[in-house]
Structure 1
Amino acid sequence: MPGRQGGPVGHDDGADPSRHLEPEVPVPVPGAPLRSLGFLTMGLFDPADPRPGHEATLRMIERGEELGFDSAWVRHRHVQHGISSPVAVLAAASQRTSRIALGTAVTPLGWENPLRLAEDWATLDVLSGGRFHGGFSVGPPMQWDAVRDALYPDTADVEDFGYGRVERLLRCLRGERVSQFEGTRGIEVFSARVEPHSPGLPARLWYGAASARSAAWAGEHGLNLLMSSVVRAEPDDAAPDFGAIQAGHVQAYRDARAAAGLSGTGRISQGLVVIPTDGATADQRERYQAYADARLPRTREPQGPGGLLFAPDLVGPAEDIAARLHAHPGFRLVDEVAFALPFTFAPADYDQIITDIATRLGPALGWRPGG
């Protein structure tokens, strides 16, 4: 995500993006002004008429640029009524905007062929003028048993859903050889690397981590770190605290970068769910609070076999949300955010929320609109 001055931060000068992928980024001072403000949407649509939902997402991104947001991110949802093709949606958004950074948070690599994804991401980055930020995660696809036969009918039992898949993607995006042939055959010219090649893109790759182990892996491999409203509680946590766990992930990430000899501290973004109500109607406030209340029980203890711990949604006046964020151990260690929008609201609700984020909450956190 870019800083307040506009374009994305990264090595866009054609230099070889190998191990030292990122510019020097000072460690945020707790309570320091927020440098980069973004939002994240799921992009819901009606399965009987999907176009209006996709158009609403594009209009939201346009509105985000008008409001001065530094970045807009889309979730990745397969066999659901949310955005299944962020590349297509963000390519469209890139032609309707000129400044705002466009990202995925996150693309689950278990659904992707790394070489093909590298082609799509590099093309999107070229179309957007170097504004794309690729966020991703690893692990088996969601609902794996239900989709494996359709997704990998012949190779399901041998697919690598671990970090090796990330390393394949990184090699492709860095311009390493993917073909044994390079040259001309007949009238066609072939390259040995993924084309188009966008040399600045590797500096704008983000790993979505929910555990200390994955945060450390991201730091060791020179990736930026995306944190969300979900963390993995460790088995020995008697009374797990979301903020403390997330702060531990930040430390694990920075320690791993330092141990790997990488320059700078890396970029870290937090993505809690925030719903400011300053400009909301009475009906909206009531619905927003009911939404948050219904989700609150899952924040009280780890959920499921993975021990996932969710952060409470932050609902209320911007000044109150800002005070809660300033007291949050995870937020105090970052200066970039991509606040997550609720899943099931109407376009008018989202417009009110992002407007309040940009005009009320952002300034309360020390942020100023991008140029």
Structure 2
Amino acid sequence: MSELDAEKLAGRLTDRAPAGIAEQIGQLIEAKVLPVDSRLPTVRDLAQELGVSVGTIAQAWSHLREQGLVETRRRGGTRVVPRARRRAEDFAGPGEPLKRMGFISSGVHAPGPAEGLEATLRIIAHAEDLGLDSAVLSPASGEQGVSSPVAVLAAATQRTARIRLGTTATIPAGQGENSVSADLDAVNLLSGGRLIGSEEQAQLVRTVIPTDTASREQEARYREIAEALPEHVLIGPSDEIADALLADPDYVGAQYATFALPPSLDETDCTHILNDVASRLGPALGWAPSPR
């Protein structure tokens, strides 16, 4: 973190109107001359350097907040925020804003199977609270994870009201297709028609691990997990992940995306990653949370 010098910043500003000051500071932010998390000068200090009223700078700061370029914290001053924390309505492409965003998981790591299933259900409910659009479960082998996604989805219908639910589980030929199909029909009825099919789940699936708010210990553990996975993992600050996705030909044109949670994560880590996906990565892709 750094605090910008009022005199140096004033030397880069030629306009003295609130909108003009905001526009020029916005350009400096986009050019990364003003780095993320830098604290802008106080309203009074910059007003003095520019020879304008305190109200003029206050209006400029208001314009910047409306654009999602800065935020004002109590006792923390006004700081430049990462692009991924800016508003979905400010999305400028390329491509179209992401319409729907969800997550896929094979379950949450926990001391025992029962605890893992309960933690998975809490994660689904938390995703709904965050405004995510879908929760998809994939079957896992072994004691950890979800061995019966359909049963867990049935339980999830009673703990959620809006989020769409799905599973990647396939039905082996000749092994109870009618029974499993009936179970899925029951899940759809219990959920009020919220069951989604494979087409929506698979339009774009990527494993992502935003590290915006991760501690050093968390990030080190996430990177170790990512290196051990067979698939490519997008890991790092949300704005970098967003840049990588927007440069991905498979992403451009996608209307909805499903982001995979790596296996072997506990409830705390899953919650942390979903929080960053919803509050930082999603808005950088033009996504807006669904109303509760």
Residue number in structure 1 paired with 2:286:
366
Asked if 1 retains the 8 angstrom alpha-carbon contact of 2:113 and 2:145, the reply is no
- CA drift of 1:77 comes to 2.6
- CA drift of 1:86 comes to 1.2
In 2 relative to 1, CA 225–94 (structure 1 residues): closer, same or farther, beyond 3 Å? closer
Which segments of 5 or more consecutive residues in structure 2 lack a partner in the other structure? 1-92
Residue by residue over 1:239-260, the C-alpha shift from the partner in whole angstroms, topping out at 9 and shown as x without a partner, is: xxxxxxxxxxxxxxxxxxxxxx
Asked if 2 retains the 8 angstrom alpha-carbon contact of 1:341 and 1:350, the reply is yes
In 2 relative to 1, CA 44–65 (structure 1 residues): closer, same or farther, beyond 3 Å? closer
SS state at 1:351 partner: helix
* Residue 234 of structure 2, aligned match among 314, 318, 321: 314
Residue number in structure 1 paired with 2:88:
none
1:101 and 1:325 mapped to 2: Cα distance? Answer: 23
SS state at 1:109 partner: coil
Residue number in structure 1 paired with 2:51:
none
- CA drift of 1:346 comes to 1.7
Q: Does 1:338 align with 2:258?
A: yes
- CA drift of 1:284 comes to 0.6
Residue number in structure 1 paired with 2:96:
32
2:126 and 2:186 mapped to 1: Cα distance? Answer: 24
Residue number in structure 2 paired with 1:66:
129
1:337 and 1:360 mapped to 2: Cα distance? Answer: 15
1:354 and 1:79 mapped to 2: Cα distance? Answer: 24
User: What letter is aligned with 1:275?
Assistant: I
Alignment of structure 1 residues 64-213 onto 2, 5 Å: 64-79=127-142, 81-104=144-167, 106-110=168-172, 112-133=175-196, 205-206=197-198
Residue by residue over 1:42-65, the C-alpha shift from the partner in whole angstroms, topping out at 9 and shown as x without a partner, is: 11455x731110010000001000
In 2 relative to 1, CA 59–367 (structure 1 residues): closer, same or farther, beyond 3 Å? same
Q: What is the TM-score with the length of structure 1 in the denominator?
A: 0.51
* Residue 207 of structure 2, aligned match among 265, 269, 273: 273
Tell me the number of residue pairs that the alignment of Structure 1 and Structure 2 aligns: 198
Which segments of 5 or more consecutive residues in structure 1 lack a partner in the other structure? 1-28, 134-204, 207-223, 228-268, 299-309
Asked if 2 retains the 8 angstrom alpha-carbon contact of 1:76 and 1:108, the reply is no
Residue number in structure 2 paired with 1:329:
249
Identify the structure with the greater helix proportion: 2
In 2 relative to 1, CA 79–342 (structure 1 residues): closer, same or farther, beyond 3 Å? closer
User: What letter is aligned with 1:55?
Assistant: E
- CA drift of 1:348 comes to 0.8
Q: Does 1:288 align with 2:189?
A: no
Residue number in structure 2 paired with 1:57:
120
In 2 relative to 1, CA 131–225 (structure 1 residues): closer, same or farther, beyond 3 Å? closer
- CA drift of 1:225 comes to 5.8
- CA drift of 1:339 comes to 0.3
* Residue 42 of structure 1, aligned match among 106, 121, 128: 106
1:49 and 1:340 mapped to 2: Cα distance? Answer: 22
1:292 and 1:77 mapped to 2: Cα distance? Answer: 18
Asked if 2 retains the 8 angstrom alpha-carbon contact of 1:75 and 1:107, the reply is yes
In 2 relative to 1, CA 80–329 (structure 1 residues): closer, same or farther, beyond 3 Å? farther
SS state at 1:278 partner: coil
Asked if 2 retains the 8 angstrom alpha-carbon contact of 1:44 and 1:343, the reply is yes
In 2 relative to 1, CA 321–132 (structure 1 residues): closer, same or farther, beyond 3 Å? same
* Residue 276 of structure 2, aligned match among 348, 356, 366: 356
Asked if 2 retains the 8 angstrom alpha-carbon contact of 1:45 and 1:51, the reply is no
1:56 and 1:369 mapped to 2: Cα distance? Answer: 22
Residue by residue over 1:280-322, the C-alpha shift from the partner in whole angstroms, topping out at 9 and shown as x without a partner, is: 1111111111222233xx5xxxxxxxxxxx4x10000100000
SS state at 1:77 partner: coil
SS state at 1:274 partner: strand
Larger Rg: 2
Residue number in structure 2 paired with 1:169:
none
1:113 and 1:78 mapped to 2: Cα distance? Answer: 19
2:112 and 2:207 mapped to 1: Cα distance? Answer: 27
SS state at 1:322 partner: helix
User: What letter is aligned with 2:101?
Assistant: L
